[in-house]
Amino acid sequence: MKFKITINDNEYHADMVDCDLVNQIANMCPFEGTYKKHNDHEYFTKLPNQANDEGCQLTTSILKNNIYYYQKWNSFVIVFEDANISPYELTCIGEFEEDVSEYLQDKGRNIFVEVNVE
């Protein structure tokens, strides 16, 4: 499955992981909102509905140009800088086809994002 993710009117595409969690998120599409910068390595927002990452692999090492889900905050997370976030654990749910990290490096505190299934 692919998602089209528009960030501040710039269109990007992501190859999503084949799992129930991604299917849950796809069923919420389209959704949009303001994403907040967090710790100079990611932008995140709360999903419109609660998703469940039961059975998904969790990681404390997040990689740029990847998309993650954080169950505790019900957050859709776009990462633009590699980071170790221990003790927090996220689930990787997708990877951008294009390099979004360079664009996001200096975008400030908030970005506007639209998420759609392609």
pLDDT, tens digit, 9 for 90 and up, residues 20-72:
999 999 999 999 999 999 999 999 999 999 999 999 999 999 999 999 999 99
Could you write out the DSSP letters of every residue in 16-81?
EPSSHHHHHHHTT-SEEEEEEEETTTEEEEE-SS----TT---BSEE-TTEEEEEGGGTEEEEE-S
- Is the pTM above the cut of 0.85? yes
Strand pairing of 66-70 and 91-96?
antiparallel
End-to-end CA distance of the chain: 8
Segment 82-87 shows an average pLDDT of: 96
Listed residue (1, 86, 10, 90) closest to 44, CA to CA: 90
CATH number of 2-117: 2.40.100.20
